[in-house]
């Protein structure tokens, strides 16, 4: 893959030249689109707009959705299925019924009992990827 940057243009424009638009090209496109996307969240009564790439994972607890970053835990009005639809083509994947994980934040993976996988995030937090979603995780990370 060849990457070049040309300065001096009046506006930012990204052009992807390729022989054929495959999955990698579509992932790059989605990742670039997600750079302008911020997720609405609340913390201590204040509304914040969080960059999805700063998110470690999302979790649903008692019909409420939470967004976890390295610095804080925010509540979001979005449901997990809405978050999954927004970010599915990016580096996010469902890792359990009530959890979506940022693949870019995974530091290591370790097999766990019953076909589950333990994912250690960049902040040291450990999450369990359920057996139901383990195969999809391995495929997305090109491990199978």
pTM passes above 0.85: no
- The tally of domains found in the chain comes to 1
Expressed as residue numbers, the domain containing 121 is: 23-140
Residue 50: inside a domain = yes
CATH code: domain of residue 60: 2.40.50.1020
Tokens of 4: 């070049």
pLDDT tens column, 5-27: 888 888 888 888 888 888 777 77
Residue 11: inside a domain = no
CA-to-CA distance for 65 and 3, rounded, in angstroms? 38
Residue 60: inside a domain = yes
Residue 16: inside a domain = no
Residue 6: inside a domain = no
Inter-CA distances, 85 with 97, 100, 112, 119, Å:
15, 11, 28, 22
């Amino acid at each position: 893959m060849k990457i070049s940057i040309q300065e001096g243009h009046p506006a930012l424009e990204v052009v992807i030249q390729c022989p054929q638009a495959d999955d990698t090209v579509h992932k790059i496109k989605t990742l670039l689109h997600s750079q302008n996307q911020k997720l609405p969240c609340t913390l201590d009564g204040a509304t914040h707009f969080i960059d999805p790439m700063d998110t470690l994972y999302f979790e649903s607890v008692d019909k409420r959705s939470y967004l976890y970053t390295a610095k804080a835990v925010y509540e979001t009005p979005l449901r997990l299925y809405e978050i999954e639809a927004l970010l599915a083509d990016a580096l996010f994947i469902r890792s359990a019924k009530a959890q979506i994980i940022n693949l870019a934040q995974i530091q290591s993976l370790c097999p766990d009992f019953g076909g589950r996988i333990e994912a250690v995030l960049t902040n040291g937090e450990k999450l369990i990827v359920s057996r139901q979603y383990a195969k999809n995780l391995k495929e997305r990370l090109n491990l199978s």
